[in-house]
Structure 1
């Protein structure tokens, strides 16, 4: 019988030898499949800090471009705890958004999934994705949104009265976040009490900070703080959902008065709920993030780019003033008014091309995928970046020039080159809501105020684009000019 000392030596050898043998066999298996060029780097960490540093110094386009110059149109690396393949370009966008669903599936980073929940649309696949998506779209389709234009108009005017009137200088981004958050709470979740909204907003900013972080759950890390904030928000949302359930049972609520009530009301032919409470909760989280950060970033950067391009601003102002002249004092905007804002929406699209609120995202390979002469192994992340086509001079000539005319004819934009709202079956469910929200806000702002930049022109990604000092503006009410 081996002595205790011999047993300790054997255990130590096993602990050392087995991982080495596993690593060698994995490498032999990988070498036979011709993996993309590049280095995976340090396990779990890899190139995560490099990407985050590039985002926070607004050099992410250069960082990604250097990878393409060094390794070509496909390369491997490690991001946020997982082996990853980076693929840029139109072909990559087509694979990401319209690829074979048996081979590729939506899958966000580990940190995003943990914070938003594993039943959200970005994680669901197949019939589950279709079932949940159809339920959400039934509320967010244009036919349903028509009735909420007036309510959005009211929220924007209320916001301006509280935060813009009487001021000489404002920070645009924080105010736009405040505005879009209140619109979401009011129109989508039926929260009219400001105190109720405040409970959410206190934790929301903290939660957003850890959305794209290395998933190491240690005290004092962004990821840890974000997880705790997510738990607080989900607990508050559960109370809201329960309250709306009770109102439906008491017949004091109608199915289409807000998104949560609509989702709770959805039934199958067998009279069973279409979505579970967990699915409703996790997808509310996603919609809150999209409506809060993406729309606020779009409106903020439209204000920035309009201030830097006087001719474009003049054309937007002319379009909006024509609409304003057709209204009586205090009369809210209508769906028909929004249909006349074609040039303004072209400005929004060009803003999204130059400063995409979501700079990229992830998918997962469900099987080995052959791409560009290499194999993307099953289980690996696939990372795509929207600015790689948006700022490609061969697709959009003079890409650094702000030129809304690129989008006046949508058919002239090459397929899979503009993916600010995604594409195919994965196109953003809230894109129409974002359009309405943006056009209403811009109409009221340009017809009531003039503004000039009072901060420098820098911005970073954290993970959404954030201008220096929140984009300080010197503002002048039109009636005082």
Structure 2
């Protein structure tokens, strides 16, 4: 039989397949319409793949992946459903839902991230841990973020910032995000694992970057995929951390007291101090738990802080009145602290307007746009039925920009925080039992950089393109926000 005689047969087969698929699809839609009268409005998209393709198109656009959520919220309202990566997701954007889900007094919700994120940070990470496991991990990490640790961090971070800023006026164009990623990465590695070697830092930062870029990739682990590249990078990061842990244990066992009291040491201390009985294995962290959470905190401390700082400088540059008030406050503080080489934690309490400016920047940018949870039992939210096994997401960005919650929400106005925000309305660091452990440290890092930057330099923007970088979990500017700086007299 020649090729020409095959053509009609092929066409016929294709028609039959298309007809069969259309009938299947129609049946699925009809079944959904019959069974979804009391569940949130929205669409499950195509069978199996759902609306994953539309989500990935948003990830790959200049508007960022949140555009996928924004369009559906406009269409369906404050509560809608969709299907991503084979699972049902419900998005909620009221303060009442935020309180119920994030405080989780009912115990009906637990943390849940999409498969790609969970695979990259590790299932023993705080981000992905079950409610019970999360409490154990959190109890072990809490000391790292004590007032004493924060005070030490302020001193170290200020030193890093002063050193980094010292030559910016000679760089021509400074790509702000790039430089901030380096500063915050160095700060996190110094605090967490006492790593300061430039070559080792550079290699580790590249691999952490690959991990971050893969977080929103389709979880297809094939050699040419972004996800595979991230998984391979995670493996290399785990090898580095394994080596560091092994070396620290050897130092401890040999009674070598030349190590620093960093995050790594606090996690390892449970094996040798009296804080846990030798028979109480539940309180001892495994090496896998230690490594997953060091990686998680490096990513969170570097990426979210650098992204938030870049947005903060952008908002300042666009609001001269706010900048003038801030310069006046910070110049006065600089005079008061002129006898000290570096800032101290007590100095930050004097930065009242700067603190409000940080909150307003975090509200406007919503670097972490939503908080995901897994539904553990059937429940009702905003008048709709939510099924066990679904994913539920608190849409922080929509709450931050809701005119019923914040007056003129698109206006940059730090003075709005002269008064306390409405309950459950400021979600930059989450809320409830899973509130970000490092929130005070993150705020401290932001005001320290802010103080040094605006008292040292004036700046002009080279590229104000508002496009969002592709494939990033935390919203950041595609351009990196390039600026030219000049010294203040």
**TM-score (normalizing by structure 2):** 0.87
Report SS of the residue matched to 1:41: coil
- Report if aligned partners of 1:44, 1:79 keep a CA contact under 8 Å in 2: no
Match of 2:143 in 1: 138
State whether residues 459 and 465 of structure 1, in contact with CA within 8 Å, keep that contact through their aligned partners in structure 2. no
The SS at the match of 1:83 is strand
State the alpha-carbon separation in 1 of the partners of residues 155 and 347 from structure 2: 11
Match of 2:244 among 218, 240, 245: 240
Q: Does 1:446 align with 2:450?
A: no
The answer for the alignment partner of 1:212 in structure 2 is 216
CA contact (8 A) 1:120 1:286 kept: yes
RMSD, aligned CA: 2.5
Aligned to 1:196: 200
Q: Does 2:153 correspond to 1:148? A: yes
Report matched runs for 1:294-305 at 5 Å.
Answer: 294-305=304-315
Distance 1:341 1:52, change over 3 A: farther
SS in 2 for 1:459: coil
1:64 CA displacement: 3.0
Q: Does 1:460 align with 2:460?
A: no
1:123 aligns with 128
Structure 1 unaligned blocks of 5 or more = 1-15
3-state secondary structure, aligned to 1:382: strand
Structure 1 partner of 2:8: none
Q: Give the structure 1 partner of residue 335 of structure 2.
A: 325
Q: Tell me the secondary structure at the aligned position of residue 470 of structure 1.
A: coil
Tell me the residue number matched to 1:6: none
| Equivalent of 2:395 in 385, 397, 408 | 385
Unpaired runs of 5+ residues, structure 2, are 1-19
Task: Return 53-62 or 101-110, whichever deviates more.
Answer: 53-62
Q: Of 74, 77, 82, which aligns to 1:72?
A: 77
Q: CA separation in 2, counterparts of 1:28 and 1:355?
A: 36
Distance 1:236 1:130, change over 3 A: same
**How big is the shift at 1:63?**
4.5
1:71-104 Cα offsets, whole Å, 9 max, x none, are 3332221123322122222122123311246311
Count of aligned pairs: 455
State the SS of the aligned residue for 1:460: coil
Checking the alignment, whether the CA contact within 8 Å between 1:255 and 1:265 is kept in structure 2 is: no
Q: Please give the alpha-carbon distance, in whole angstroms, between the structure 2 residues aligned to 1:435 and 1:382.
A: 28
Establish whether residue 225 from structure 1 lines up as the match of residue 229 from structure 2.
yes
How far apart, CA to CA, are the structure 2 residues paired with 1:384 and 1:426?
13
Residue 395 of structure 2 corresponds to residue 395 of structure 1? no
Q: Could you tell me how far 1:34 is from its partner in structure 2?
A: 3.3
The structure 2 residue matched to 1:84, chosen from 79, 89, 92, is 89
Call closer, same or farther: CA 1:348–1:214 in 2, change over 3 Å.
same
Structure 1 residue 333: Cα displacement? 0.5
Partner of 2:277: 270
What SS does structure 2 have at the residue aligned with 1:476? strand
CA pair 31-70 structure 1, distance change in 2 beyond 3 A: same
CA contact (8 A) 1:455 1:468 kept: no
Alpha-carbon shift at residue 242 of structure 1 (Å): 1.4
Q: Counterparts of 2:309 and 2:252 in 1: how far apart (Å)?
A: 35
Change (3 A) 1:59 1:152: closer
**Does 2:180 align with 1:171?**
no
Aligned partners of 1:33 and 1:375 also within 8 Å: no
Provide the C-alpha distance between the structure 2 equivalents of 1:379 and 1:146, rounded to a whole number of angstroms: 42
CA distance 1:107–1:194, shift in 2 (3 Å): same
